């Protein structure tokens, strides 16, 4: 029986449900010390002086560092040359939360006490806390070398003036894609031990080899004696692939004081120091005919980079504009983008990274076209879909060569679950009844770019390469260990990869282990991000397993005195086809694979060990159709999701249970962006949502149940056929939710509401209509 596609329970769980997981903060090596930050309370200020005397005098304090202690060191890796963040602020701070000083002490309480005793004298400067403020004439400049606050502007190649002038109808929207804090429940944690035999850094990170390569390069030390370990990691969502000063400072201080140094971020720090996501504003225009057929699309993305732009943040608008047309055939598309710095926390990847922003805008535009033309939103989608026979489909962007999909098929499948006509009647009925809650129905036919990626794609974000490693090692007893560079943080990769390998090797699932997250153990690796763990890493496991299996068959054939072509496997036994009486068990093949005298001619011991650096020729393109049904309380403006219907096309499903979990989790974050979450700053750059008291990460009572369905168009870029599913929900959900809210209020002339759709925004609309 094939395990690929089976609902298999996770190998990860027994440790995690008994408290036996091992997260970085759980490690407490002998002599371990604690590092605590003093972070800037000013959004933009000159540092006049830092008084550390009292902190240094506190018993138990081992070191207090400011930028003066590290003047010779380069700025934090990952930034743009000349605009990068110092490990500790030098002379000037540019956002609230920027590190100003660190204390190392014998325990975290003393370190926190000492940090309180450090006095930083700031000379406040004017701050720009929004895109409009940063781009206003005469605005204060964050980085003098830029001469302004725009880091990069990419203009339209052709602004499509003729297409818009000739079109029967046009419409435009200004859309804000709200800044979110990724907020894994485990904040950033790292522990450095830099002794005579080298540096070991345990870090809550999604890409340990990436960090190992970078940290060795930064310090000019060899990679062989630099080890990064990402043990159990408590969620990442893209925020744990960024290089932050914490990693480098704990390492430096460990070397300095000769003891392990641990940094455990508090939640209040996490909300201002862990890089944010989204933070885009869109100016979108669309030209269409009276039947709702789109003729041209123009999109300008303005990306808030926060105070210090980084490679990933600069890539976000590239991905957004590449996916601007979504799943629609649009004859002319023009894209433009601008990256701007502000006095806020830097921005980088957050679940979906650039693609939720794209799907949100195109799906809002589709509903706007429906509103303008009177054509039903479902019908507008149908009239514009790229048809199934059009793949591969070249878009306006060289990045996005759509390879597969069935957008109409996903919508058909969705509508089997949604009683659309009845809902529309119910909506009408409720509008006539002032006592009834308003009803809204919102759709999104979404498409994303995932499976990162083909050669060159991740290199553009600073990674070594875009392959993923897989090593399959048969043990002498016939069990197997798999090593992967795609270090997981909740995805269930250990289970998924064991399922793939079990099918390819014919070895029992319970006798396959998967190891990850340690650069001293895993040959090389890239990491888990961009929905690549199955589409690239899993494909690597399949390739390596297949190679091992072919050699195992040769050994079995030799032992059975048969030809390898005639060997089949069942119940961990190799047979000669047609003669079931003659067999050799996997365990014997494995044992003998290490014994030169037992091997077929030309084969050497170690033949059942294969390492693959799996490449893929293209990105993948997961897609789907979602529908959200909301009720709106006319008295409070509160939005309640009544139903959330989700049809995904992630290609081949390895484990339906885990795919379901990924979809739910992504959708939950998408709903959260649509209704609840917003990292807010006041005009002086002070964050107003810097604890979980005021940044609303939803609880169980804030979220609905989900109805899920599926279609499957296999990914042609790997033999598994899998596309990836980790980010889909966060791409598909926000437009469905906001389309539903706007639909509920459309009789009041509402065309758009920016996320998050809070009760006060809705209440103001309802009051205004009275």
Partner 1 sequence: MTIRTAITVNGKDTSREVEARTLLVHYLREELGLTGTHVGCDTSNCGACTVLLDGEAVKSCTVFAAQIHDCNITTIEGAAQADGSFSPIQEGFRQEHGLQCGYCTPGMIMASTALLTENPNPTEEEIRHALEGNLCRCTGYEMIVNAVRWAAEHPNFTSGGAK
Q: Are strands 512-516 and 567-570 parallel, antiparallel or unpaired?
A: unpaired
Q: Which is nearer to partner 1, 16 or 394 (CB)?
A: 16
Structure tokens that stand for 122 in this block: 């700031």
Structure tokens that stand for 42 in this block: 């000013």
Structure tokens that stand for 522 in this block: 């895993």
CB of 413 to partner 1, least distance (A): 20
Residues of this chain that interact with partner 1 (CB under 8 A) are 9-10, 12-23, 25-26, 28, 108-109, 183-187, 232-235, 237, 264, 266-268, 489-492, 657-658, 660-661, 664-669, 691-693, 697, 699-701, 703, 705-706, 729
Tell me the H-state helices in 31-169.
53-57, 108-117, 131-135, 161-166
Show Cβ contacts of residue 203 under 8 Å, excluding neighbours closer than 6 positions: 24, 189, 190, 191, 211, 228, 229, 230, 247
Query: What is the enclosing helix (H) or strand (E) of 742?
Result: helix 728-745
Q: Any idea what the Cα angle at residue 735 is, between residues 729 and 736, rounded to 5°? A: 75
CB of 207 to partner 1, least distance (A): 16
Q: Are strands 294-304 and 332-340 parallel, antiparallel or unpaired?
A: parallel
Q: Which is nearer to partner 1, 113 or 376 (CB)?
A: 113
CB of 716 to partner 1, least distance (A): 29
Kindly list the strands in the beta sheet with 480-484, ordered across the sheet, starting from the edge strand earlier in the chain.
512-516, 480-484, 468-474, 609-614
Q: Which is nearer to partner 1, 22 or 764 (CB)?
A: 22
CB of 485 to partner 1, least distance (A): 19
CB of 233 to partner 1, least distance (A): 7
CB of 351 to partner 1, least distance (A): 10
Q: Residue 202 half-sphere exposure, CB side, CA atoms within 13 Å?
A: 20
Q: Which is nearer to partner 1, 435 or 699 (CB)?
A: 699
Burial class (CB in 10 A: 0-12, 13-18, 19+), 91: exposed
CB of 180 to partner 1, least distance (A): 12
Q: Are 486 and 533 in contact (CB under 8 A)?
A: yes
CB of 356 to partner 1, least distance (A): 16
Q: Are 488 and 547 in contact (CB under 8 A)?
A: no
Q: Which is nearer to partner 1, 2 or 701 (CB)?
A: 701
Q: Which is nearer to partner 1, 483 or 706 (CB)?
A: 706
Residue from 485, 531, 489, 18 nearest 234 by CA: 489
Q: Which is nearer to partner 1, 17 or 166 (CB)?
A: 17
Q: Which is nearer to partner 1, 275 or 325 (CB)?
A: 275
Q: Are 192 and 253 in contact (CB under 8 A)?
A: yes
Q: Which is nearer to partner 1, 47 or 658 (CB)?
A: 658
| Cα torsion 484, 485, 490, 493: sign | negative
CB of 702 to partner 1, least distance (A): 8
Q: Which is nearer to partner 1, 173 or 696 (CB)?
A: 696
The span from the CA of 77 to the CA of 86, in Å, is 9
Q: Which is nearer to partner 1, 202 or 402 (CB)?
A: 202
CB of 358 to partner 1, least distance (A): 22
Structure tokens that stand for 39 in this block: 């972070």
Q: Which is nearer to partner 1, 588 or 660 (CB)?
A: 660
CB of 745 to partner 1, least distance (A): 26
CB of 730 to partner 1, least distance (A): 11
Residues paired with 459 in a beta bridge: none
The span from the CA of 470 to the CA of 486, in Å, is 9
Q: Which is nearer to partner 1, 341 or 628 (CB)?
A: 628
Q: Are 502 and 569 in contact (CB under 8 A)?
A: no
CB of 515 to partner 1, least distance (A): 17
The span from the CA of 142 to the CA of 145, in Å, is 9
Structure tokens that stand for 587 in this block: 């365990």
Q: Which is nearer to partner 1, 35 or 294 (CB)?
A: 35
Strands (E) across 620-684 are located at: 623-632, 639-649
CB of 685 to partner 1, least distance (A): 22
Query: What is the enclosing helix (H) or strand (E) of 105?
Result: strand 99-105
CB of 713 to partner 1, least distance (A): 25
The span from the CA of 228 to the CA of 248, in Å, is 12
3-state class of 39 per DSSP? strand
Q: Which is nearer to partner 1, 138 or 705 (CB)?
A: 705
- Look-up: residue for tokens 């990045």? 399
b/e sequence 425-450, b meaning 16+ C-beta within 10 Å: eebeebeeeeeebbbbbbbbbbbbbb
Show Cβ contacts of residue 763 under 8 Å, excluding neighbours closer than 6 positions: 636, 637
């Amino acid at each position: 029986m094939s395990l690929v596609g089976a609902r298999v329970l996770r190998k990860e769980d027994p440790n995690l449900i008994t408290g036996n997981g091992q997260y970085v903060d759980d490690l407490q090596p002998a002599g371990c010390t604690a590092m605590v930050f003093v972070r800037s309370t000013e959004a933009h200020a000159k540092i006049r002086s830092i008084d550390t005397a009292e902190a240094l005098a506190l018993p138990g304090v081992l070191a207090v560092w400011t930028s003066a202690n590290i003047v010779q060191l380069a700025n934090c890796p990952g930034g743009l040359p000349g605009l990068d963040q110092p490990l500790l602020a030098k002379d000037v701070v540019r956002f609230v939360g920027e590190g100003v000083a660190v204390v190392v002490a014998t325990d975290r309480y003393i370190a926190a006490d000492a940090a309180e005793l450090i006095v930083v004298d700031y000379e406040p400067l004017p701050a720009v806390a929004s895109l409009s403020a940063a781009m206003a004439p005469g605005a204060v400049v964050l980085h003098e070398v830029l001469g302004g606050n725009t880091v990069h502007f990419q203009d339209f190649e052709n602004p499509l003036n003729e297409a818009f002038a000739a079109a029967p109808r046009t419409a435009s929207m200004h859309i804000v894609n709200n800044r979110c804090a990724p907020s894994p429940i485990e904040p950033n944690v790292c522990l450095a031990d830099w002794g005579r035999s080298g540096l070991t850094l345990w870090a809550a990170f999604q890409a340990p080899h990436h960090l190992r390569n970078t940290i060795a390069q930064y310090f000019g030390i060899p990679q062989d004696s630099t080890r990064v370990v990402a043990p159990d990691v408590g969620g990442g969502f893209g925020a744990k692939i960024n290089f932050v000063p914490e990693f480098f400072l704990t390492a430096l201080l460990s070397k300095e004081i000769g003891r392990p140094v641990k940094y455990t971020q508090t939640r209040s720090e996490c909300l201002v120091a862990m890089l944010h996501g989204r933070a885009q504003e869109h100016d979108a225009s669309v030209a269409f005919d009276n039947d709702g057929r789109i003729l041209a699309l123009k999109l300008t993305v303005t990306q808030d980079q926060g105070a210090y732009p980084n490679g990933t943040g600069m890539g976000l608008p590239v991905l957004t504009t590449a996916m601007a047309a979504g799943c629609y055939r649009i004859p002319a598309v023009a894209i433009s983008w601008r990256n701007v710095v502000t006095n806020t926390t830097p921005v980088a990847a957050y679940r979906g990274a650039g693609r939720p922003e794209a799907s949100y805008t195109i799906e809002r535009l589709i509903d706007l076209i429906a509103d303008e033309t009177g054509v039903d939103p479902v019908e507008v989608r149908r009239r514009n879909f790229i048809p199934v026979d059009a793949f591969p489909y070249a878009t306006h962007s060289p990045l996005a060569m759509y390879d597969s999909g069935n957008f109409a098929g996903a919508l058909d499948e969705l509508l089997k679950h949604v009683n659309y006509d009845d809902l529309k009647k119910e909506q009408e009925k409720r509008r006539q009844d002032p006592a009834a809650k308003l009803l809204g129905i919102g759709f999104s036919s979404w498409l994303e770019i995932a499976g990162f990626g083909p050669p060159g794609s991740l290199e553009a974000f600073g990674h070594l390469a875009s392959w993923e490693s897989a090593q399959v090692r048969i043990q002498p007893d016939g069990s197997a260990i798999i090593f992967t560079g795609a270090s997981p943080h909740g995805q269930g990769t250990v289970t998924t990869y064991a399922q793939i390998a079990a099918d390819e090797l014919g070895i029992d699932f319970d006798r396959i282990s998967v190891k990850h997250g340690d650069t001293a153990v895993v040959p090389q690796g890239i990491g888990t991000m961009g929905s690549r763990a199955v589409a690239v890493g899993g494909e690597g496991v399949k390739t390596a397993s297949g190679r091992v299996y072919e050699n195992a068959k040769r050994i079995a054939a030799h032992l059975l005195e048969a030809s390898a072509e005639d060997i089949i496997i069942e119940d961990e036994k190799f047979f000669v086809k047609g003669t079931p009486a003659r067999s050799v068990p996997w365990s014997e093949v494995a044992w003998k694979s290490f014994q030169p005298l037992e091997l077929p001619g030309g084969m050497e011991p170690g033949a059942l060990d294969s390492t693959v650096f799996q490449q893929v020729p293209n990105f993948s393109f997961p897609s789907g159709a979602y529908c959200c049904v909301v009720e709106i309380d006319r008295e409070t403006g509160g939005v309640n999701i009544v139903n959330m219907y989700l049809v995904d096309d992630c290609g081949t499903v390895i484990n339906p249970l885990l795919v379901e979990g990924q979809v739910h989790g992504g959708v939950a974050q998408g709903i959260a962006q649509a209704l609840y979450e917003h990292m807010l700053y006041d005009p002086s750059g002070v964050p107003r949502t810097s604890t979980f008291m005021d940044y609303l990460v939803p609880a169980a009572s804030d979220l609905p149940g989900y109805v899920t369905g599926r279609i499957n168009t296999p990914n042609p870029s790997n033999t598994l056929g899998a596309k990836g599913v980790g980010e889909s929900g966060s791409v598909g959900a926000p437009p469905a939710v906001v389309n539903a809210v706007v639909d509920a209020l459309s009789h009041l002339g509402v065309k758009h509401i920016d996320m998050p759709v809070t009760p006060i925004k809705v209440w103001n609309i309802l009051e205004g209509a009275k």
